[in-house]
């Protein structure tokens, strides 16, 4: 099991962090529902564009207008194909959401295991 | 005499003064701010603590005097929902959202200093953190308020007393 799967939800903010960081859920801020819909679309999109390559959950960060997608990939595809997929996701998503989208990737040899059951 | 011989062949006078295209100079007087109040909200207290260290350090480096740094108490928004899709009213789930605050107050700034500081601090705002800025302006007292009204109208009072 990965670190994310090993900790149940009541450990969020104690032993676990957040997967999606935005200001929609703060007291007195609006836009939480729109961010949630965007997050679910982005996660399905990433799951589909990198078939079988995602080692862990996708982390989404929003700084002002910029949307940063951080993902962990395994090294199954050659780097040239991964570069093409990165450019494809960045241009498509920035045209779709009308905001600059940046993809930050890290390749991992295998899934990062936290605990064995 | 040696200095004169060295400067004779150099091009010291012919060089034009270099003007930085990013710096703009204007002659109008700058608006002064008595207090600049920055309220930062976030879900994670550690993130807000590190941001406070960063903002205070930036203010000190720019020479801005800090009035106070206060940490208002957190607000917790809780709601209780049913755990199951259909029946089982007695079994519920509770969720909460915690918002931590940090208020930074800076005193006696000019508009250009405030613009520079705010731009730097806002470009480095971490994700998941929101900021609100309130500026208190100092203005000159308008001319028509400076003297009380009853001192400027003696003639009308005398006419009333006579009649």
CATH number at residue A38: 3.30.300.20
Judge whether residue A92 has pLDDT over 90. Answer: yes
Q: Which of A8, A26, A30 to mutate to test the interface with B (most CBs of B within 10 A)?
A: A26
Q: What is the mean pLDDT of residues B67-73?
A: 89
Range of the domain at A23: 3-108
* Model pLDDT, residue B2: 59
- The answer to whether residue A115 sits within a structural domain is no
CB contact under 8 A, B126 and A25: no
B18 exposure class (CB count in 10 Å sphere: 0-12, 13-18, 19+): exposed
Q: What is the mean pLDDT of residues B61-85?
A: 91
- The answer to whether residue A79 sits within a structural domain is yes
Of A18, A26, A64, the CB nearest to B41: A26
How many domains are contained in chain A?
A: 1
pLDDT band of residue A110 (cuts 50, 70, 90) is confident
Q: Which of B123, B127, B130 to mutate to test the interface with A (most CBs of A within 10 A)?
A: B127
CB contact under 8 A, B75 and A27: yes
* Chain B residue numbers touching A25 (CB-CB < 8 A): 43, 97
Ordered domains of chain B (ranges, CATH) = 32-135 (3.30.70.600)
* Model pLDDT, residue B39: 87
Q: What is the mean pLDDT of residues B24-29?
A: 70
Q: What are phi and psi for residue B16, nearest 5 degrees?
A: -85, 150
Please choose, from the candidates A52, A13, A57, A15, the residue with its C-alpha nearest in 3D space to the C-alpha of residue A39: A57
* pTM, entire model: 0.75
**3-state SS string for A27-63:** CCCCCHHHHHHHHHHHHHHHHHHCCCCECCCCEEEEE
* Model pLDDT, residue B33: 81
CB contact under 8 A, A29 and B130: yes
Q: What is the mean pLDDT of residues A62-86?
A: 90
Neighbours of A36 (CB within 10 A): 14
Express each pLDDT in B2-20 by its tens digit: 565 555 555 555 566 666 7
Q: Give B122→chain A minimum CA distance, Å.
A: 9
- The answer to whether residue A46 sits within a structural domain is yes
């Amino acid at each position: 099991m990965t670190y994310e799967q090993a900790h149940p939800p009541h450990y969020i903010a104690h032993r676990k962090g957040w997967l999606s960081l935005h200001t929609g859920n703060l007291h007195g801020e609006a836009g939480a529902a729109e961010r949630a819909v965007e997050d679910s679309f982005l996660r399905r999109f990433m799951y589909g564009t990198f078939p079988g390559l995602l080692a862990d959950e996708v982390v989404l960060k929003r700084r002002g207008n910029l949307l940063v997608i951080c993902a962990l990939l395994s090294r199954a595809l050659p780097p040239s194909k991964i570069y093409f997929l990165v450019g494809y996701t960045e241009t498509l998503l920035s045209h779709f959401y009308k905001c600059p989208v940046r993809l930050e990737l890290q390749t991992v040899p295998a899934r990062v295991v936290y605990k064995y059951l | 005499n040696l200095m004169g011989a060295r400067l004779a062949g150099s091009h010291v006078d012919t060089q034009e003064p270099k003007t930085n295209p990013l710096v703009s100079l204007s002659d109008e007087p700058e608006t002064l701010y008595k207090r600049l109040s920055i309220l930062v909200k976030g879900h994670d207290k550690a993130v807000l603590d590190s941001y406070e260290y960063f903002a205070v350090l930036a203010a000190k480096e720019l020479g801005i005097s800090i009035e106070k740094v206060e940490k208002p108490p957190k607000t917790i928004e809780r709601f209780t929902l049913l755990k199951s899709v259909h029946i089982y009213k007695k079994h519920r789930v509770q969720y909460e959202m915690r918002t931590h605050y940090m208020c930074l107050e800076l005193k006696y700034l000019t508009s250009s200093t405030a613009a520079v500081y705010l731009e730097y601090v806002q470009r480095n705002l971490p994700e998941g953190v929101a900021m609100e800025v309130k500026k208190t302006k100092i203005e000159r007292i308008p001319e028509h308020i400076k003297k009380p009204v009853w001192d400027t109208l003696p003639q009308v009072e005398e006419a009333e007393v006579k009649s």
